Amino acid sequence: MIDLLDIKDPKFLKQMNHDELVELSKEIRTFIIDKVSKTGGHLSSNLGTVELTIALHKTFDSPNDKIIFDVGHQSYTHKILTGRAKYFDQLRQFEGLSGYIKREESVHDVWEAGHSSTAIAALAGFEKARQFTGEKNYNIAVVGDGSLNSGLSFEALNYLGHQNEMRPIIILNDNEMSISKNVGTLSKILNSLRSSKTYVKARRRSVKFPKFLIDLKNRIGFMLRGFAKNMTIFDELGFTYYGPINGHDLKQLEKYFELAKKVNRPTVLHVITKKGKGYLPAESDLDGLWHGVGPFDIETGKPLQKLPENVSSWSNIISSYLIKYAKDHPEFQVVVPAMINGSGLNKFQELYPNQIIDVGICESFAVCFSGALVMNKQTVFVPIYSSFLQRAYDQISHDIARQDIHVVFGIDRSGLVGDDGETHQGIYDIAYLKHIPNMEIVQPKDAEEAYSLLDYAFYVSKHPIAIRYSRNKIEYNSVLLESVEKIDKPTWKEVIPNGEVNLITYGDNVDRMKLLIQSKALNVTLINARFIKPIDTAMLDKILNEGHPIVVLEDSTKISSLGSSILEYMATSSKMQCKVEILGLPDEFIQQGKISELYLKYNLDDESVAQILSKYLVK
């Protein structure tokens, strides 16, 4: 058996027999479990696609044939087969192996994505380009069943289905959690018939028939499948559909992949896989807890890091407020796009199942849908990851803000997110929201302020409002949440007064900077800019009139940040006499790594900030 660390490319698979491939599947599963248990990563999705990926690389000829992975977090086996097993100790680590498809890593990585539902649209582009160039290669998209909820997927399917001069191959990886499989004896017979050599030869010959006979044959075929209740949306859209196919049977997978190469028209292969296959805790997980994991003990399945009782994720703190609010507001609804577990809403769903609506991976729909709910006397909270919310930009601007509809958005994973890397860093939401009229943006420094700002959002604000919160875990005292500050208008707070330099920041950085200033005895005024939009112009006027230097610290892109809002206000108010320095992230996509490592790289760590503050202090 080949050593996984010695693999350079997938060509060796062509020489392997079935038994050797089965043994390879087992070895890869063991390898993935071992490595992810140490580094963290996406486990269930990768365990479920081992045989599928092996069969793909055995049947097709990558990189000549283009394999496009939707999202890319199910690509660990692909990375192993393309020569990257030796880098897995640095999976998702700073300057290490990406947890997603990464074109600069390998010629076998042809399309990058951290958001779902882009693969079929990309497939259409690859296939159209193949037509233009006259290349003979195959283009294949591997798409999860959840991705088909997206409008982008449907748009691409609608385009491709009737492009009979093209031959795109879509592999629908169905883990039985989103799409019901076709069952029944006749279904199996028909699929067996459609995959037989006789049928394929007859079909290939039939293209020489007159068009009216081909159309008649297709209508009869659809009619037979309709009587068998085996019609699929793919048939309706014009694809040749085969399935369901056992996604863990290498012989069956190879058989259908070879068949798809001969069909010579748009084809969908419906493959059934088991998410988490080969690791019992992941196999039995119905809530997505093993989708993305931190380091864990393989024997027990328990995380290696256990949080103290008074430490919680921001998502869970926000959820605890929503539970309290829902108790007294039966008209309240949480609208979530396929992230109930990720957004910490499992307990909310358990307590208020009729007050939470999961719309699937459809951020644009979630936003527009929520606006209509609010217009019809519902109160709505929409939690969406920062990097996912940008997919609904048009709906936020055109449908919500333009009509000034009071939707409350939770921007989860705002700021740097660490090991998920550039596709998930939540560093752009301030930039893409703050220029939209009527939009309010806030970010709390701790759990108590989160409750205060949520009270403001639901009881005071009349406009669309977004509350940002990071991926971090924070300490909190549940007793303090019972009686919190009342905020009745947009205000900043002076945390440390009377300094020679004004440090303005928000969110998690407020308490971090408070500790820094106190530990180094810096003569610095610390301002908590909890309202990012609108800014507190009264306090800003006070700061500007004092004339001390201003340092703005934020873990978002410096372009169109809070710092730029302050500079814009200074320009319009003719108060440009203060020195201003903005500390934030540069105009580039930020790679994966621990947040502390990224802070150090971009001079946002404690020592770097202290040095910058010190240069403005009177010697």
Q: Write out the catalytic residue numbers.
A: 275, 363, 391
Q: Would you put residue 356 in left (φ > 0), alpha (ψ -120 to 50) or beta?
A: beta
- The two tokens of residue 275 are 């998410």
Separation of alpha carbons 304 and 292, rounded Å: 14
Nearest to residue 318, comparing CAs of 166, 501, 469, 125?
Answer: 469
Nearest to residue 197, comparing CAs of 269, 249, 256, 247?
Answer: 256
Separation of alpha carbons 549 and 503, rounded Å: 9
- The two tokens of residue 82 are 């393309």
Helices 314-327 & 447-455 angle (0-180, nearest 10): 40
Q: Report the run of H or E that residue 565 belongs to, with start and end.
A: helix 562-572
Separation of alpha carbons 66 and 122, rounded Å: 11
Separation of alpha carbons 349 and 333, rounded Å: 11
Q: Would you put residue 285 in left (φ > 0), alpha (ψ -120 to 50) or beta?
A: beta
Nearest to residue 408, comparing CAs of 345, 321, 466, 488?
Answer: 466
Separation of alpha carbons 569 and 563, rounded Å: 10
- The two tokens of residue 365 are 């729909």
Q: Which residues contact 472 (CB under 8 A, 6 or more apart)?
A: 313, 314, 508, 595
Separation of alpha carbons 617 and 366, rounded Å: 49
Q: What's the 3-state SS for 309-340?
A: CCEEEHHHHHHHHHHHHHHCCCCEEEEECCCC
Place of tokens 């085996």: 230
Torsions phi, psi of 166, nearest 5?
Answer: -100, 165
Residue 172: strand, helix, or coil = strand
Q: Is 66 exposed, middle or buried (0-12, 13-18, 19+ CB in 10 A)?
A: buried
Separation of alpha carbons 23 and 43, rounded Å: 20
Separation of alpha carbons 256 and 544, rounded Å: 70
- The two tokens of residue 98 are 């990406």
Q: Report the run of H or E that residue 140 belongs to, with start and end.
A: strand 139-144
Contact 413, 473 (CB under 8 A): no
